[in-house]
Amino acid sequence: MPDAAPAPVPRPGAVYFVGRVILRPLFWLLYRPRIVGRDNVPASGPVLLASNHLASLDTVIIPTAAIRPVQFLIKSAYFTGSGLLGRAKRWFFTSIGGVPVYRATGRDARAALDAGSSILRAGSVFAVFPEGTRSRDGKLHDGHGGAAWMARDTGAAVVPVGLIGTGSVTPFSHLLPGRPRLEVRFGEPLDLTDLDGIPDGKARREITERMMAAIARLSGQERSGSVNASSRD
């Protein structure tokens, strides 16, 4: 029996590009984001952005700050809802090139990683939160191995990202005096050339550690030394 045809690589549609044109000036008005190191993102080729995660806003602020289109893993609930609202959410997140991720291990988790790798192999930019879920205590938690697996699998450039201030944003914080100013810091791509020839398991652990150490330097967060189990978002 012939192998099944691979699933098509999700791509951002017109909704993504129109939304970014609208959101960029809107975010400048609301949050005055400071973007540092934008030129550290390679202008071409596969790039894996690895960021800390403080708020739902993170999945919007990174694409509006980056010089290239960015795709994300997005929780599967946004793709599986029923009714008019469920269909609208599925259409929207599919249109922006979102990749559904299931809170599970085994086949579903591997499918999400494979989808991310397929995007990288197509020469695109894919962003992940190695912590897995957002931090509610403000600390930077240990990274999971999925991001390192994709980096190792595809040879993509790994660019660490530090987000500052997104966790303090509330629906009306932009109306208050002294409103927080967000900051997005893109670090230099990690040098992983010394890991060539290293066994995969050891290499992935080292990539994950370098990734989290770089994110900590960019974000200024204290590292918790443990996996984040405080949030399901």
Question: DSSP code of 57?
Answer: T
pLDDT of residue 214: 98
Residue 211 class from Cβ within 10 Å (0-12 exposed, 13-18 middle, 19+ buried)? buried
Q: Residue-wise pLDDT tens for the chain (233 aa)?
A: 444 445 566 677 666 777 777 777 877 777 778 999 999 999 999 999 999 999 888 888 898 899 999 988 777 777 777 888 888 877 777 777 777 776 555 566 677 788 889 999 999 999 999 998 889 899 999 999 999 999 999 999 999 999 999 887 765 455 455 666 789 999 999 999 999 999 999 999 999 999 999 999 999 999 999 988 754 55
State the Cα–Cα distance between residues 126 and 153, nearest whole angstrom: 14
How crowded is residue 147: how many other Cβ atoms within 10 Å of its Cβ? 28
